[in-house]
């Protein structure tokens, strides 16, 4: 069988003998409206746990719409047209609406990137800005002690509307919901305080029950009201399948349930080899983002197996602390020990990679230099096929293989 594996702006073919292939993990088939804007309009007309948005907002109010930055696949441009029409129907003025790109700990964006994300209409009609961690309002602390520091234009707005796509998050359970505001519009220190709980067992992908990271995030709502959300679930090609609008709690949870029907995939057993990709750009711009696919793959790999991780990583590692930890460590064990005693945002993902390395080898197919990849405790390969062939030679001709072409979205769950 030949399977196309996404990397950067393109794909690479991978040939696997049928006898070796255990499973290709793809989204479950779900019927959906092919017109993205039509689906968003439907969700606005049928809000979950909330009145229509046009009944919540009022003329003269300052409205902050918070959405994802360039590192996320959220199709903001498909949402903004229906959303602006809904706000204008309530009498809101263009000059009172601001679209805020939640950077979290990511880099600032160019004006061209903002325009592409927002869509030409929104970019021309309303103010579009990046969040700024140096301009925040302190609203209090959570029970865990996480400082609730929120970007000033968001904190001081009369109404807040959160946009986002729902996918699995390796320690917050799922993306979406309050994550647009926090940690999206907060400070590195606040994000670090929240993410320090990632080492707890309940902080894992697909879990919202007593998940300490998610609980801490949602406590922010006691200090800052989010009036409405529009969260979407995307297919493997980053197109909107279903939109969920309304109350931040109820609409988000319904979106999470729907995500499970698409991307939670049962596997019969763990594989000797797992080939995993983020699906290409923009989710494999750097190793910091590509790590998400690796973390899902760990649920499918047998102890002592080989994970073939595929990601362009054309921007390198993608985060300063992440780079520092990975390049300075002499062993993976050193990274795991460090995160337990000196948690730092960015370093946590280096430790997460180290935890996978305790279980399996990682063969990396990327645009990074070979020697640099080796310094990260991974084995470099130029193509997916070369990496797979090497893994097969190592694990034997009868090795069982699982392929995850969209590993950041698909969550394996073993029957046992």
pLDDT tens by residue, 154-207: 999 999 999 999 998 888 999 999 999 999 999 988 988 898 888 788 988 899
The region that residue 177 occupies, defined by phi over 0 for left and psi between -120 and 50 for alpha, beta otherwise, is: left
Same fold, 2-28+264-414 and 36-234: no
Q: Does domain 36-234 have CATH number 1.20.1260.10?
A: no
Count other C-beta atoms under 10 Å from residue 254's C-beta: 18
380, 370 in Cβ contact below 8 A? yes
Exposure on the CB side of residue 84, measured as CA atoms within 13 A: 23
This prediction's pTM = 0.81
* All structural domains of the chain with their residue ranges: 2-28+264-414, 36-234
In 3D, which of 210, 222, 225 has the Cα closest to residue 143? 222
| Range in 137-141, 162-166, 261-265 the model is least confident about | 261-265
Q: Beta 159-165 vs 63-68: how paired, if at all?
A: parallel
Q: Supply 102's token pair.
A: 């939640």
Q: Supply 120's token pair.
A: 């030409």
Mean pLDDT of the chain: 94
pLDDT value of position 146: 95
145, 192 in Cβ contact below 8 A? no
pLDDT value of position 416: 65
Exposure on the CB side of residue 20, measured as CA atoms within 13 A: 23
Helices (H), 9-143: 36-45, 53-56, 76-89, 111-118, 120-125
Q: Measure the CA dihedral 347/353/355/357, to 10°.
A: -140
Whether the pLDDT of residue 73 is over 90: the answer is no
| pLDDT more than 90, % of the chain | 83
Q: Going edge to edge, which strands form the sheet with 228-234?
A: 127-130, 97-102, 63-68, 159-165, 228-234, 240-246
| Range in 42-51, 65-74, 214-223, 246-255 the model is least confident about | 65-74
Tens-place pLDDT, residues 30-62: 877 789 999 999 999 999 999 999 999 999 999
Q: Supply 96's token pair.
A: 């009172």
Rounded to an integer, the average pLDDT of 398-409 is 94
Please give the CATH superfamily to which domain 2-28+264-414 belongs. LarA, C-terminal domain (3.90.226.30)
């Amino acid at each position: 069988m030949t399977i196309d594996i996404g990397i950067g702006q393109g794909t690479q073919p991978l040939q696997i003998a049928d006898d070796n292939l255990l499973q290709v993990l793809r989204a479950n088939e779900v019927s959906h409206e092919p017109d993205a804007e039509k689906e968003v309009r439907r969700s606005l007309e049928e809000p979950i746990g909330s009145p229509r948005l046009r009944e919540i907002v009022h003329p003269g109010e300052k409205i902050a719409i918070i959405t994802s930055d360039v590192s996320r696949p959220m199709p903001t441009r498909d949402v903004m047209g229906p959303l602006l029409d809904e706000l204008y129907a309530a009498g809101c003025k263009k000059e009172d609406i601001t679209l805020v790109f939640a950077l979290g700990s990511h880099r600032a964006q160019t004006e061209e990137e903002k325009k592409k994300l927002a869509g030409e209409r929104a970019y021309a009609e309303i103010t579009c800005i990046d969040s700024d961690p140096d301009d925040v309002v302190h609203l209090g602390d959570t029970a865990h002690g996480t400082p609730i520091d929120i970007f000033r234009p968001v904190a001081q707005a009369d109404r807040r509307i959160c946009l986002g796509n729902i996918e699995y998050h390796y320690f917050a359970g799922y993306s979406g919901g309050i994550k647009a505001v926090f940690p999206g519009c907060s400070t590195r220190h606040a994000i670090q305080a929240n993410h320090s709980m990632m080492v707890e067992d309940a902080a894992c992908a697909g879990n919202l029950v007593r998940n300490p990271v998610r609980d801490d995030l949602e406590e922010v709502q006691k200090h800052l009201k989010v009036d409405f959300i529009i969260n979407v679930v995307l297919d493997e090609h980053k197109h909107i399948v279903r939109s969920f609008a309304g109350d931040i709690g109820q609409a988000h949870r319904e979106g999470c349930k729907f995500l499970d029907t698409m991307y939670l995939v049962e596997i019969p057993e763990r594989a000797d080899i797992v080939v995993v990709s983020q699906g290409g750009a923009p989710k494999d711009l750097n190793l910091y983002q590509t790590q998400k696919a690796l973390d899902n793959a760990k649920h499918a790999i047998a102890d002592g197996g080989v994970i073939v991780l595929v990601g362009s990583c054309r921007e390198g590692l993608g985060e300063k602390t992440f780079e520092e930890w990975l390049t300075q460590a002499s062993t993976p064990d050193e990274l795991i020990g460090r995160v337990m005693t000196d948690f730092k945002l960015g370093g946590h993902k280096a430790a997460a990679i180290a935890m996978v390395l305790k279980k399996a080898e990682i063969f990396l197919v990327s645009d990074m230099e070979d020697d640099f990849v080796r310094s990260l405790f991974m084995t470099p390969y130029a193509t997916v096929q070369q990496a797979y062939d090497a893994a097969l030679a190592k694990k034997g001709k009868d090795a069982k293989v699982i392929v995850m072409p969209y590993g950041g979205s698909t969550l394996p769950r073993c029957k046992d």
